């Protein structure tokens, strides 16, 4: 920002502050003469500055953001247990491995006994011990395969109807360490026992198929976006302060509307309430517009409440010409304030409409350049 712009902003801020002080003084002294003109002058200056800010920022650039949408997790779309064979190989040959383990285990035991006997008899025992070693190795191989199949069946049994399981529950069910379960699952995935298996969350959760994994990824992205938005919201103290100010003002308006006698003033309270809610909605959707509302939250909302309280006090006093004139002046001033709030809402919405028109214009130009529309922006039109 140039020095000239800084000086202009300082001058405007100082002028509005002095006008605001004048308004406060008039209210405190119950001097409502020319109140509407003073408020109008102050509001016009503020609105002009806001309008320049809106147009200038639109012309010279502003930060934008995109919302992330995802279809999210829907339990009705997940895999059921009766479809598990699509995503995992059925456990097979458990009995075969058990039979071979028993056969070769018994044979190895027999060879060991014979080897010991021949050793005691000082006969040639080496062939028996050699066969024992071979048979024991084969038996151990089939035993290990059988246990792997048993663990695999337990892993499948740990999956819920959607194909989801926690590694900790698998480890508890099988009775081994979680690290061993993770190694098992990686091996089973590599060997295509689980055709589409995925380990996520630092190897603490197992997902049986790609569909469930895609939901997980969408959920992760959605959670990441929520965390970013939450962090932005929490870090934006100004936004929180603005929302608190609006909330306090709305509570005051509801209370005043219920206690005021004049139906026209009651309606003004309702109108201002709705306009403040509109400003809240605009800023909540785009916190970047917050700085344009600082003066209204700092000066004009408090002034609005003060004026309404003053009007309430006047209603409870004996009627006089001066009192009636003051009440009329406050009513006129409230109309000015309502008009100002409406103009502010319109100005803040205006920039979004400009963006939409700009996007449409760019789209039409691109379509024409690609020969996808009926006209070209480069062709000369002749009558």
112: which residues sit within 8 A by CB, 6+ positions away? 128, 129, 132, 136
Residue 214 lies in a domain: no
Express each pLDDT in 174-230 by its tens digit. Answer: 888 999 899 989 988 888 888 888 888 888 899 888 888 888 888 888 888 877 777
**39 or 336, greater pLDDT:** 336
Residue 224 lies in a domain: no
Residue 131 lies in a domain: yes
324 and 317 Cβ atoms separated by less than 8 Å: no
One domain, residues 49 and 116: no
Residue 247 lies in a domain: yes
Of 208, 224, 253, the last residue of a domain is 208
Of 208, 223, 246, the last residue of a domain is 208
One domain, residues 94 and 166: yes
Residue 348 lies in a domain: yes
299: pLDDT strictly greater than 60: yes
One domain, residues 14 and 88: no
Express each pLDDT in 327-342 by its tens digit. Answer: 898 888 889 888 888 8
Residue 336 lies in a domain: yes
Q: How far apart are CA 84 and CA 197, in angstroms?
A: 12
One domain, residues 60 and 87: no
Domain membership of residue 147 as a residue range: 80-208
260 and 308 Cβ atoms separated by less than 8 Å: yes
One domain, residues 94 and 196: yes
One domain, residues 253 and 198: no
One domain, residues 15 and 45: yes
One domain, residues 39 and 115: no
Express each pLDDT in 359-381 by its tens digit. Answer: 555 555 555 555 544 444 444 44
Number of domains in the chain: 2
Q: Over range 19-40, report the average pLDDT.
A: 62
One domain, residues 52 and 89: no
Question: Beta strand pairing status for 205-207 and 164-166?
Answer: antiparallel
One domain, residues 168 and 95: yes
One domain, residues 138 and 52: no
One domain, residues 252 and 336: yes
Residue 221 lies in a domain: no
């Amino acid at each position: 920002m140039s020095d000239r712009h800084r000086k202009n902003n300082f001058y405007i801020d100082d002028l509005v502050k002095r006008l605001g002080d004048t308004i406060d003084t008039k209210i405190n002294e119950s001097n409502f003469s020319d109140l509407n003109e003073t408020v109008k002058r102050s509001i016009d200056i503020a609105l002009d500055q806001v309008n320049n800010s809106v147009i200038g920022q639109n012309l010279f650039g502003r930060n934008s953001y995109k919302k992330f949408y995802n279809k999210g997790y829907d339990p009705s779309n997940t895999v059921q247990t009766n479809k598990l064979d699509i995503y995992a190989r059925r456990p097979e040959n458990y009995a075969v491995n058990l039979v071979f383990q028993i056969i070769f285990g018994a044979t190895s035991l027999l060879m060991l006994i014979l080897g010991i006997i021949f050793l005691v008899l000082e006969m040639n025992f080496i062939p028996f011990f050699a066969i024992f070693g071979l048979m024991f190795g084969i038996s151990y191989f089939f035993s290990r395969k059988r246990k792997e199949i048993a663990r695999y069946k337990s892993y499948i049994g740990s999956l819920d109807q959607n194909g989801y399981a926690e590694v900790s529950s698998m480890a508890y069910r099988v009775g081994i360490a979680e690290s061993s379960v993770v190694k098992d699952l990686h091996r089973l995935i590599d060997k295509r026992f689980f055709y589409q298996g995925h380990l996520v969350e630092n190897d603490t959760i197992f997902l049986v198929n790609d569909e469930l994994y895609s939901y997980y990824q969408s959920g992760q992205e959605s959670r990441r976006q929520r965390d970013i938005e939450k962090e932005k919201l929490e870090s934006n103290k100004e936004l929180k302060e603005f929302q608190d100010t609006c909330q306090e003002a709305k509570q005051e308006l509801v209370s005043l509307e219920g206690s005021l006698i004049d139906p026209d003033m009651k309606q003004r309270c309702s109108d201002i309430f709705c306009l403040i809610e509109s400003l809240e909605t605009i800023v909540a959707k785009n916190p970047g517009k917050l700085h344009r509302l600082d003066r209204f939250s700092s000066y004009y909302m408090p002034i609005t409440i003060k004026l309404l309280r003053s009007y309430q006090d006047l209603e409870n006093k004996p009627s006089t010409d001066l009192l009636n004139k003051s009440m009329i002046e406050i009513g006129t001033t409230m109309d000015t304030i309502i008009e100002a709030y409406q103009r502010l809402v319109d100005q803040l919405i205006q920039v979004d409409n400009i963006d939409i028109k700009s996007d449409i214009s760019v789209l039409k130009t691109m379509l024409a350049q690609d020969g996808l529309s009926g006209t070209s922006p480069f062709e000369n039109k002749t009558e």
